[in-house]
Structure 1
Amino acid sequence: MAVDFEIPEDAKAIRQKVREFVHSECIPAEKRLLDGEPYKEVLAELRQKARAQGLWCPFIPKEWGGMGLGPLANALVQMELGESYLGALALNTQGPDDATMLTILTYGTDYQKEKFLKPLLNGEKRVCYSMTERAAGSDATGMKTTAVRDGDNWILNGEKWFSSAASVADIAVVMAKTDPDAPRHQQFSTFIVELPNPGYRIIRDIPTMAVEGPLTHILGGGHAEVKIENLVVPHENLLGGQGNGFTMGQHRLAYGRLRHGMHNVAMAQRALDMAVAHVTQRETFGRLLADRQGVQWMLADCASELYIARLMLLHIAYKAEKGLDIRHENGIAKVFLANMVHKVVDTAIQLHGALGYSLDTPLARWYTSIRSQRLVDGPDEVHRWTTGRNVIKAYREHGTTAPACGGDLL
């Protein structure tokens, strides 16, 4: 029986619709912002047009106002939206909000969904996720922020590091240690915090190597250092029950890793398109760059990277559609996709020469931004460590490493 890679017609149609929206509305809107038009007005217009076309919250069930797309269709949509930094925002599927919305939808109480989730789904508010701490880094179980029960409230104290989009958020989801004597992965709980709140103080948006523009922080591109001091949170804002914070965090990060990868494919595709547009017009020493074998090899390498990336995401989407465990493939793909986009954008810069190194194209800005992809949602080394252990486990259990290397794809 043949493996079927046919995309359902309805998924093809929605992909095409989103592709047209990104190219006809979102990418032109980027120039409008650079020309000085107010961000809030431009985004509101984009969102109005998106909703009018039925393009809103792709992964959210229809009964909650979304498009109700399954993993495959959503992956196809996200691989289009990432071509523009306004794409996801226009459809209210931007990170870090998207994964947190899914978490509240999955684990929230009726009260929490009514009070906190609905405004997020309507695009009226934004949310950030405060888990990472400077002292703990990639080991979330090393966090020091505490939450102590005090009657009908919890009192939180500690610090958070790299809370993305906190400076534009109306709600924060905060993880803290509630039971230091419980098993390691059951010591933590998650709380929903309304902002602004004097107990949740943003010290600064941490400067990074990413090239910043006038809209970086307005768009939610900052990563905040946060001081949490005697933060009072009602017990009814405890999300998912006591001791379930770590499990929910991994559930949330799993989608975030995939979304980053989907958007990386879109960015890499746009970068490669820009590179080919340039080399098919640029002449040096009497010949087009496109006619030079070395340039063609560079383009071929990029095409290979994108092909592998798309196959990875399609296979993961297939497994997700079937309700199968995707953790192993997710970790492999997270590392590959983060490095893939770096290679493709770097090649596009090289083929543009000094123009690519300048800020006259978006390539240099993308290059400094995507370096974070090898760190966020778990650094490469942690995922590779896990994959390596899976390879050894497969050999010990089956006498071959094939099950951990795609040997049983379907």
Structure 2
Amino acid sequence: MAIDFEIPEEAQKIRDEVRQWVQDECIPAEKRVVDEESYKSVLAELRAKARAQGLWLPFVPKEYGGMGLGPLANALVQMELSQSHLGTLSLNTQGPDDATILTLLEYGTDYQKEKFLKPLLNGDKRVCYSMTEKAAGADATGMRTTAVKDGNANYILNGEKWFTSAASAADIAVVMARTDPDAPRHRQFSTFIVELPNPGYVIKRDVPTMALATPMSHVMGASHSEIEIRDLVVPAENLLGGEGNGFAMGQHRLAYGRLRHGMRNIAMAQRALDLAAAHVTSRETFGKPLHERQAVQFMMAECASQLYIARLMLLHIAYKAEKGADLRQENSIAKVYLAHMVHKVVDTAIQLHGALGYSQDTPLAAWYADIRSQRLVDGPDEVHRWMVGRNVIKAYQQTGTTASACGGDML
């Protein structure tokens, strides 16, 4: 009996349509975005065209205005969209909004869905997620921001947040804070929806990073902010998911975020390899076409191998998600692997371009500076490796083999 790797016809059709969309509309539009005004006009134009074609919110159920794609079809779509920085934005499936939209869909009250989710789904507003703190780092249970109930009507939040992505472009913030320090460790935190701007939620600065910063980073939500929270009043009706459920909801949200980063990394690596192939097939050195040199072919082969492994990883995780299976182990393995894969492929593409790759005349240099973050965001490599290794030992102790923790129960 054969294992079926065939993609359903409908999923193939959507994937091909989105691939064409990115190549015909998004990549050419990149050159037209030069300032805030052009960004807004170009994005509005792209979104109008996309919606007219039925391309909108791929991961959101149809009853909420989305395409209703399952994990497999959505993965195929995202791996095409992210070849352009306008791709996900054009279909309103950009991070960090996407994962928070899923959280609101899952846990929001009717009131919260009408007031906060609806404008996000329509593309009228953007949302950021404030969880990370300097003092806590990768340990979310170490956060110190507090939320104290003031009677029955409000919560008062105080603390600081660090590296809140897209805060500069957000109209809504979802903030995690400690509501009960005496509860079990993972039940101490709750999540709150905050309308922005708000005098209690102050963006102190956009944190300078390795990524090449431009005025457009701030406008497009590509920046990461340091937030001061002082006497922030949040109505009790804006408590999301009930008291004590903040950590669990955060992990639910991060699970999709890690997959999204993987999809983005595959898309970026694919476009980088395509750029490298275009360059080496059009260049001649020392009287011989560059692409005919064995060293170049070996470099391309290594990139192709890593992309192949990466795709299989991600599609297998999508398969498990379709089945409702536990995918935490595979998600952590893939998160680390894909972060290193995209670095390797983009680095190779730069090398094959020579000085041109080091310049900013191609997108490669900017990508190279940006993708270093992939080994840190949504959990650094070391945390994921620790968890994966712990599960390997646990599997052996329970069953006498490590197989179940390293793909042995693939299907």
Question: Which of the five TM-score ranges fits, normalised by the shorter chain?
Answer: over 0.9
- Give 1:8-407 correspondences, 5 Å limit: 8-34=8-34, 38-151=38-151, 152-407=153-408
Structure 2 distance, partners of 1:191, 1:363, is 38
Aligned length: 410
Q: CA deviation at 1:161?
A: 0.1
Q: CA deviation at 1:345?
A: 0.2
Structure 2 distance, partners of 1:168, 1:274, is 31
Change over 3 Å in CA distance of 1:341–1:185 after alignment to 2: same
Structure 2 distance, partners of 1:333, 1:342, is 14
Structure 2 distance, partners of 1:225, 1:398, is 46
Q: Is the 8 A contact 2:61 2:69 kept in 1?
A: yes
Change over 3 Å in CA distance of 1:122–1:36 after alignment to 2: closer
Unpaired runs of 5+ residues, structure 2, are: none
- Normalised TM-score (structure 2): 0.99
Determine helix, strand or coil for the equivalent of 2:216.
coil
Letter in 2 for 1:380: D
Q: CA deviation at 1:214?
A: 3.4
Measured against aligned partners, the alpha-carbon deviations of 1:357-410 in whole angstroms (never above 9, x if no partner) come to 000000000000010000000000000000000110111111111111111210
Determine helix, strand or coil for the equivalent of 2:296.
helix
Change over 3 Å in CA distance of 1:66–1:380 after alignment to 2: same
Q: CA deviation at 1:176?
A: 0.1
Q: Is the 8 A contact 2:26 2:84 kept in 1?
A: yes
Q: CA deviation at 1:217?
A: 1.3
Q: CA deviation at 1:285?
A: 1.0
Unpaired runs of 5+ residues, structure 1, are: none
Structure 2 distance, partners of 1:202, 1:216, is 15
Determine helix, strand or coil for the equivalent of 1:408.
coil
Bigger shift: 280-289 or 383-392?
A: 280-289
Q: CA deviation at 1:287?
A: 1.0
Measured against aligned partners, the alpha-carbon deviations of 1:52-95 in whole angstroms (never above 9, x if no partner) come to 00000000000000000000000000000010000000000000
Structure 2 distance, partners of 1:250, 1:289, is 47
Structure 1 distance, partners of 2:196, 2:409, is 47
Change over 3 Å in CA distance of 1:37–1:30 after alignment to 2: farther
Q: CA deviation at 1:35?
A: 8.8
Structure 1 distance, partners of 2:36, 2:124, is 23
Aligned Cα root-mean-square deviation (Å): 0.9
Q: CA deviation at 1:34?
A: 4.0
Q: Is the 8 A contact 2:35 2:216 kept in 1?
A: no
Q: State the percentage of identical aligned residues.
A: 78
Measured against aligned partners, the alpha-carbon deviations of 1:228-255 in whole angstroms (never above 9, x if no partner) come to 0000000000000000000000000000
Change over 3 Å in CA distance of 1:37–1:348 after alignment to 2: farther
Measured against aligned partners, the alpha-carbon deviations of 1:289-327 in whole angstroms (never above 9, x if no partner) come to 111111111000000000000000110011100111111
- Normalised TM-score (structure 1): 0.99
Determine helix, strand or coil for the equivalent of 1:203.
strand
Structure 2 distance, partners of 1:34, 1:7, is 39
